């Protein structure tokens, strides 16, 4: 009986509260602390091929914190727990596993009243991989929800502007939000592809369906009411899937699965002052920074001479 009464009171509270504008998810003078797990898995779908490819993945965990510092700005910072976990372990490179100070450095999110993110401000000399990681976090918290129901808008994100659908459902004690990005509609990076290269001649006899790239990107959120801070993000889970139907080395389909999950831990009422060196910050969009010449995006940069030596060593090995 008591539980039913509590649920009824929460339902009445939610009904009167209503969904606030996106920016009101973060109230001033409070720090929102989240646990996070980020992971990427690459492998090949099982098929009739005789070649079995074991998936390779990396995973990172830690704390993510958000604080509203003025009417248009959120301060954010990432605190990793230890190092990146990589599988298989033999692929681990200590130079690429350690967490740089750049990743821990605070950054700013410039956000509009409707929840749209206008800019992300990172250090002007920051490596692409850490700035892209921060863009992924900022994009996860971009929620333009002001009402319940189903609606679609053109929203800026990691791949440019994309047709984005929101499905907001009012539950008894919380709201459920499902956010779906139509990656085929993205401009300028259709299908979420920023750069591609091929080291074998194109095969014109293949049907287009056999070379089709399948992509998807969805986010699932749980918003809860808080008597002190209106509505807040209690959970967020964002998943991206890319499936390429031709995988050169095995003849199987290659997949890339990425996932970022955040869970609310606590709210601090008296945050510490955050040192943001404005002179060193560079305003950028949410779009990923692409490094065509460096696939590690700065994690393990190799000089041209080093790459040439590696190629020569490989050729000598193959001719022995």
pLDDT tens digits, one per residue of 245-263? 655 555 566 778 899 999 9
- Per-residue pLDDT reduced to its tens digit, 256-310: 889 999 999 998 876 666 666 656 788 888 888 876 555 544 455 555 565 666 6
Range of the domain at 134: 21-319
Whether 199 maps to a domain, the answer reads yes
- Per-residue pLDDT reduced to its tens digit, 74-117: 999 999 987 777 777 655 554 444 566 788 888 999 988 888 89
Distance between CA atoms of residues 162 and 175, nearest Å: 24
**Contact criterion met (CB below 8 Å) for 165 and 294:** no
Whether 204 maps to a domain, the answer reads yes
As a dihedral over the C-alpha atoms of residue 284, residue 286, residue 288, residue 289, rounded to 10 degrees, the angle is 0
Q: Is the pTM of this model over 0.85?
A: no
Which CATH number goes with the domain that contains 252?
2.30.230.10
- Per-residue pLDDT reduced to its tens digit, 23-55: 478 888 788 999 999 998 887 765 555 555 677
Whether 4 maps to a domain, the answer reads no
Whether 157 maps to a domain, the answer reads yes
Whether 16 maps to a domain, the answer reads no
Whether 9 maps to a domain, the answer reads no
**Contact criterion met (CB below 8 Å) for 262 and 35:** yes
With a cut of 90, say whether residue 120 has pLDDT above it. Answer: yes
Whether 10 maps to a domain, the answer reads no
Q: Where on the phi/psi map is residue 149: left (φ > 0), alpha (ψ -120 to 50), or beta? A: left
With a cut of 90, say whether residue 192 has pLDDT above it. Answer: no
Average pLDDT, integer, range 316-320: 63
How many domains would you assign to the chain?
1
- pLDDT averaged over every residue in the chain: 76
Whether 15 maps to a domain, the answer reads no
As a three-state string, the secondary structure of the chain is: CHHHHHHHHHHHHHHHHCCCCHHHHCCECCEEEEEEEEEEEEEECCCCCCCCCCCEEEEEEEEEEEEECCCCEEEEEEEECCCCEEECHHHCCHHHHCCCHHHHCCEEEEECCCCCEEEEEEECCCCHHHHHHHHHHHHHCCCCCCCCEEEEEEEEECCEEEEEEEEEEECCCCEEEEEEEEEEEEEECHHHCCCCCCCCCCCCCCCHHHHCEEEEEEEEEEEEEECCCEEEEEEEEEEEEEEECCCCCCCCCEEEEEEEEEEEEEEECCCCCCCCCHHHEEEECCCCCCCCCCCCCCCCCCCHHHHHHHHHHHHHHHHC
The residues near 72 (Cβ < 8 Å, ≥ 6 apart) are 110, 111, 112
> Using alpha carbons only, what angle is made at residue 70 by residues 66 and 73, rounded to the nearest 5 degrees?
55
**Contact criterion met (CB below 8 Å) for 223 and 235:** no
Q: Quote the distance between the C-alpha of residue 210 and its chain's center.
A: 29
Question: Which tokens is 313 given?
Answer: 């060593």
With a cut of 50, say whether residue 63 has pLDDT above it. Answer: yes
Per the listing, tokens 């065509």 go with: 292
């Amino acid at each position: 009986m008591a539980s039913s009464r509590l649920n009824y009171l929460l339902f009445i509270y939610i009904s009167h509260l209503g969904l606030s504008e996106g920016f009101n998810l973060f109230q001033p003078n409070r720090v929102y602390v989240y646990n996070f797990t980020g992971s990427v898995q690459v492998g090949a779908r099982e098929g009739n091929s005789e070649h079995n490819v074991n998936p390779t993945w990396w995973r990172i965990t830690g704390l993510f914190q958000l604080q509203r510092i003025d009417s248009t700005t959120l301060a954010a910072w990432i605190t990793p727990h230890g190092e990146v976990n990589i599988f298989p372990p033999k692929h681990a490179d200590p130079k690429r596993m350690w967490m740089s100070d750049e990743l821990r450095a605070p950054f700013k999110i410039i956000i509009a009243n409707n929840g749209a993110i206008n800019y992300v401000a990172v250090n002007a000399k920051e490596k692409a991989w850490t700035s892209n990681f921060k863009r992924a976090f900022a994009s996860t918290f971009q929620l333009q929800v002001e009402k319940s129901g189903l609606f679609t808008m053109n929203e800026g994100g990691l791949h440019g502007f994309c047709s984005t659908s929101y499905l907001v459902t009012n539950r008894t004690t919380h709201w459920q939000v499902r956010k779906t990005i139509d990656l085929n509609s993205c401009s300028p990076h259709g299908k979420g592809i920023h750069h591609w290269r091929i080291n074998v001649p194109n095969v014109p006899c293949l049907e287009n369906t056999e070379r089709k790239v399948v992509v998807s990107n969805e986010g699932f959120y749980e918003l809860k009411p808080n008597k002190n801070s209106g509505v807040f993000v209690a959970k967020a889970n964002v998943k991206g899937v890319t499936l390429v139907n031709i995988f050169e080395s095995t003849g199987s389909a290659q997949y890339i699965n990425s996932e970022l999950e955040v869970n609310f831990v606590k709210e601090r009422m008296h945050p510490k002052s955050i040192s943001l060196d404005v002179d060193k910050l560079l305003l950028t969009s949410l779009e990923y920074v692409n490094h065509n010449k460096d696939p590690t995006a700065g994690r393990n940069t190799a000089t041209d001479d080093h790459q040439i030596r590696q190629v020569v060593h490989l050729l000598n090995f193959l001719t022995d």
